[in-house]
Amino acid sequence: MPLEIVTIPCLSDNYAFLAHDRVSGDTALVDAPQAEPILTALNERNWQLSHILLTHHHWDHVDGLAAILEAHPAEVVGAAADAHRLPPLNLQVAEGDRFEIGGEPVEVLDVSGHTVGHVAFYLPNSKVVFTADSLMALGCGRLFEGTAPQMWSSLSKLAALPDDTLVCSGHEYTQSNARFALTIDPDNLALQDRVVEIDRARAAGIPTVPSNLALEKATNPFLRAADPAIQAHLGMENSDPAKVFAEIRSRKDRF
Ligand code: ZN
Ligand code: FE
């Protein structure tokens, strides 16, 4: 049975997620931006954490961990490559590793780019991937440590997952990502429709995260660097998608 997913807004624009197995009661938290809203979400449901999955070391993804662990002494999972700069880990993982939440397999993907060592957690049975600051709704994380080819390879890995995968990313940046996406892919009707939906959701205070991989592939310019219309719009016809991605990413940095 698919895990139940709960989205928890934290800080000004972060998201944490709970993934709960109704059969075993196991519950995983993905990222720990802030203790209070996460503890409240757990208390409301009477859930106890079994796992805490950390995607990367930035403070806005780990700051709440110590206070959460006091009430929920769960197993903390994070990248072996980042063990030196993450809080203490009970399980160190790398690309290709698998573990379980309840009976549900979790696969580790290295999605370096935003940081080197950033991981995503893919749950094939539940059709959900936790991408934090790699693939985001209509966007992707800024390249603080990695290179554009590295991020392009990470995004390509995520794009290869099944179309009906739920994409749980780390921030509510979608509305500003949408304004940028329209400058790269102005004639994309699916994007235009999505922007209307995003503006409607944000006006009503509704999160635009999680999203769905098919929709990201149809509208997210960072996944569409091989698209002929985008390449033509950028004057980069028949270019290596990794180079087109680098151009889109650098335009976003200046946007
Ligand atoms: Zn980050
Ligand atoms: Fe972040």
Overall average pLDDT of the 234-243 stretch: 97
Q: What distance in angstroms lies between residue 133's CA and the mean position of ligand 1's atoms?
A: 5
Q: Which ligand is nearest to the CA of 143?
A: 1
Q: What distance in angstroms lies between residue 53's CA and the mean position of ligand 2's atoms?
A: 14
Percent of the chain with pLDDT over 90: 99
Q: What is the pLDDT at residue 222?
A: 98
Res. 1: pLDDT tops 90? no
Spatial separation of the C-alpha atoms in residues 87 and 76, rounded to whole Å: 9
Overall average pLDDT of the 8-37 stretch: 98
Overall average pLDDT of the 230-235 stretch: 98
Q: What distance in angstroms lies between residue 120's CA and the mean position of ligand 1's atoms?
A: 12
Looking at every residue in the chain, the average pLDDT score rounds to 98
Q: What distance in angstroms lies between residue 246's CA and the mean position of ligand 2's atoms?
A: 20
Spatial separation of the C-alpha atoms in residues 37 and 9, rounded to whole Å: 7
pLDDT in tens, 53-91: 999 999 999 999 999 999 999 999 999 999 999 999 999
Q: What distance in angstroms lies between residue 234's CA and the mean position of ligand 2's atoms?
A: 28
Q: What distance in angstroms lies between residue 119's CA and the mean position of ligand 2's atoms?
A: 13
Model pTM above 0.85: yes
Spatial separation of the C-alpha atoms in residues 222 and 242, rounded to whole Å: 10
User: Reduced to 3 DSSP states, what percent helix, strand and coil does the chain have, rounded to the nearest 5?
Assistant: 35, 25, 40
Do 102 and 26 meet the contact criterion of CB atoms below 8 Å apart? Answer: yes
Overall average pLDDT of the 7-35 stretch: 98
